[in-house]
Amino acid sequence: MRTNLDSLKRIPDMLDMYCNQKKTLREIGEKYQVTSERIRQILHQFSEYRNQKTHNSSKKHYTFTCPMCKQQKTVTPSQMKKKFCNAKCEKAYTRMNWNTFKEKKCSNCGKIKPRTDFYFSPEGKPQAHCKQCHNGYTKEWIKNHKEQARKINKKAFDKWYKKKHAKSKKI
C-alpha cells in the first residue's frame, strides 16, 4: 500500500519534471527507479499531463469587446489583431463608419479626395483607388486586353438586354 501512496505523491513531481523542466521519460525513470514505459502510463492516466503537453499553461488570454455588437470575446495573444467578433460585424461597422468620413487618401495618386470620389468594393469597404485612378487603370487594361474586354462587354450587354426585354414582355 505504501508504494502506491508514494507513487501518487510523486506524480505531481513527475508532471512538473516532464512538462515544465522538459526532462525526458528516461531521466524521470532513473530518478524514481521506474521504467520509462511505466512513467508514460502513469502520466497518461492524468488529464493534466495531456492538457499541459498540448496547451501551454503560461498562455495568457485577453478579452475584447466588439465595437459593433458590444459582445465580449476571449482571445489568445495571436488573435489580438482581430477587432471584431466576425466578418459580418466588421462589414457593418465599416459601412456605418464610412459615412462619417468626409475625405480619404487615394493609395495610387496620394491625393486626399472627398469620399464621393471612391467606389465601394463588393465586401462593403471603400476601394483604395479613387474613381479617376480606377478609370485610368480600366482604360489601360482595355487597351492591353482588347479581346477579353470585348467578351466581357458582350456578356454584360446580353445580360442587360435580356433583363430589359423580359420586363417589356411582362407589361
Answer yes or no: do 168 and 112 share one domain. Answer: yes
**pLDDT (tens digit, 0 to 9) for every residue of the chain, 171 residues total?**
344 545 666 777 777 777 767 777 788 878 878 887 877 777 766 644 455 445 444 556 777 788 788 888 887 766 767 778 888 888 777 777 666 677 888 999 999 998 888 888 777 677 888 999 999 999 999 999 999 999 999 999 999 898 888 766 655
- Residue 39, classified by CB atoms within 10 Å of its CB into exposed (0-12), middle (13-18) or buried (19+), is buried
Answer yes or no: do 129 and 168 share one domain. Answer: yes
Q: Which residue blocks in 16-145 are alpha helix, DSSP H?
A: 25-32, 36-44, 47-54, 87-98, 131-144
Answer yes or no: do 96 and 108 share one domain. Answer: no
Answer yes or no: do 135 and 108 share one domain. Answer: yes
Domain that holds residue 68: 59-100
Answer yes or no: do 107 and 142 share one domain. Answer: yes
Q: Of 74, 100, 126, which marks where a domain is finished? A: 100
| Neighbouring C-beta atoms of residue 130, cutoff 10 Å | 24
Q: Give the cell for residue 89.
A: 460585424
Q: What is the pLDDT of residue 9?
A: 67
Answer yes or no: do 130 and 170 share one domain. Answer: yes
Answer yes or no: do 75 and 130 share one domain. Answer: no
Can you tell me the distance from the alpha carbon of 27 to that of 19, in angstroms, rounded to the nearest whole number? 13
Pick from 133, 90, 127: which is nearest to 108 by CA? 133
Name 114's bridge partners: 103
Q: What is the pLDDT of residue 5?
A: 41
**Phi and psi at residue 35, in whole multiples of 5°?**
-70, 155
Q: Which is it for strands 72-75 and 103-105: parallel, antiparallel or unpaired?
A: unpaired
Q: What is the pLDDT of residue 125?
A: 73
Q: What is the pLDDT of residue 47?
A: 46
Answer yes or no: do 81 and 25 share one domain. Answer: no
- Residue 133, classified by CB atoms within 10 Å of its CB into exposed (0-12), middle (13-18) or buried (19+), is buried
How many structural domains does the chain have? 3
Answer yes or no: do 83 and 48 share one domain. Answer: no
Q: Of 54, 71, 88, which marks where a domain is finished? A: 54
